[in-house]
Amino acid sequence: MEPDVIPQQTLAQIERTGSADLMVGILAPGNNGEPSAVAMVREAIAGLSALPRAVIVKNGASRNPDAIQDDAQDGSVPVIVSELYRQEPAEVPLESMFEAYRILLAVGGKLGARACAIIASNLQTVTPQWIYRLAEPALERNFDLVTPLYARNKFEGLLNRSMIAPLHRALYGKRIENPNGPDLGVSGRLIQEIVRQPSGTRFANDNITPLASITPAAIRGGYQICQMHVGARVQPSGDLTNLSSLLAQVLGPIFSDVERNAAFWQKTRGSQSVPGFGEPGAVSDETGTVDVRRLIDAFQLGTQNLQEVWGVVLPPASLFELRKLARLAPERFRMPDELWVRIVYDFVLGYRLRTISRDHLLRSMTPLYLGWIASYALELDGAGLAQVESRLERLSIAYEAQKPYLMSRWRWPDRFNP
């Protein structure tokens, strides 16, 4: 990792602070009325068998400087105020958040921390138990990566559920519900592994980020991984006007890592579960409403306007199936798992081949993703939690079943499958 990734002022604070057993990185932008980070960390570590020396790293551009000042004056847990991201809006751009992970991991390595808990969720929903559950397995149970299990209703986390998690499972062979966190626990061993990666190999691709790379790195290196129930994660309501940007920002780094790890995942067969701990949190019965008609309209518009772009990456058979789907009556609209999985795999390949702009390619997935959501919403109308989990498991199995398709096209990309 680049030696100058840590700001100079932060390096000076690290020198004054010394070493730490546990570093807690707070990525969430500051909000008025947020709880004291020190108070939460102090309560979290009180439950550990051996009281660790903990250090908090917070963003210096918080919108609530009084909260930082209050934390800094509480000498029970040192607070390092670093410029993790420069922006100060209510929603920090994802690129800035991704860069913040890089800084936090470097700071954790510099502190010699035995574990690092990274909190990216809104502090108003995070509890001391949340921090404890991310830190304790790395500090006391010899796990190297702790990924979260969030309590979600059926319409939350759909980008992860439809693409990110099942793609990771099929390629890397581990059944991890939230491989990209964003809240994570990382051991000092894994931190050092990531930090000592030379920049020429680790970040040569401008779209590789630590957040997308942490879980694949842990799997490749044979590190111990577990999942921990932490509770409900409150996320902002979906904004379809910004969905194209979100897809490009989130999927780009993941697809880049898939390209970089091709030699590894092509040798992986099947998938295995990883240990899970804690009790699932309560899920709200209020799932909100989904405007299926609007989603289908967006999908149909995409089939009219994006045929030229999709034709660069999708084989003729898939394009034909999409045109058939666009002509169905709304109540009969269903996107088969095999079609959806092959679309995702073909876009992974198209991203690798760079036939067109990568950003343009990923943005063009938006109508396809909206079509998948419409199909999912129609199929699971009135379904309970058990039915939802069963449906998502079938999707994950489809990703595994279609992996030979990706491998074949990856090795012989010029051969379109009929």
195, HSE (Cβ side, Cα atoms, 13 Å): 22
Residue 77's nearest CA partner among 118, 42, 112 is 42
3-class secondary structure, 63: coil
- 36 vs 118, higher pLDDT: 118
- 32 vs 144, higher pLDDT: 144
pLDDT of residue 66: 44
pLDDT of residue 194: 86
pLDDT of residue 202: 42
Asked whether the predicted pLDDT for residue 411 surpasses 80, the reply is yes
pLDDT of residue 203: 39
pLDDT of residue 110: 93
User: Do residues 18 and 110 lie in contact, with contact meaning Cβ atoms separated by under 8 Å?
Assistant: no
pLDDT of residue 71: 54
> For the purposes of burial, counting CB atoms within 10 Å of the CB of 89, is it exposed (0-12), middle (13-18) or buried (19 or more)?
exposed
- 225 vs 412, higher pLDDT: 225
Sign, CA torsion 275/277/283/287: negative
Residue 54 — φ and ψ, nearest 5°?
A: -110, 150
What distance in Å separates the CA atoms of residue 379 and residue 329, rounded to the nearest whole number?
14
415: DSSP letter: -
Asked whether the predicted pLDDT for residue 240 surpasses 70, the reply is no
Calculate mean pLDDT across residues 200-210.
54
pLDDT of residue 208: 67
What distance in Å separates the CA atoms of residue 30 and residue 221, rounded to the nearest whole number?
35
CA distances from 244 to 238, 247, 249, 355 (A): 12, 5, 9, 19
R_g of the chain computed on alpha carbons: 22
> Does this model's pTM top 0.85?
yes
Residue 17 — φ and ψ, nearest 5°?
A: -75, -40
User: Do residues 47 and 144 lie in contact, with contact meaning Cβ atoms separated by under 8 Å?
Assistant: no
Asked whether the predicted pLDDT for residue 241 surpasses 90, the reply is no
pLDDT of residue 393: 97
Asked whether the predicted pLDDT for residue 105 surpasses 90, the reply is yes
Asked whether the predicted pLDDT for residue 91 surpasses 60, the reply is no
| Domains of the chain in sequence order | 8-277 (3.90.550.10), 292-411 (no CATH)
Residue 131's nearest CA partner among 210, 28, 26, 235 is 26
pLDDT digits (tens, 9 = 90+) for 379-402: 999 888 899 999 999 999 999 999
pLDDT of residue 318: 96
pLDDT of residue 63: 45
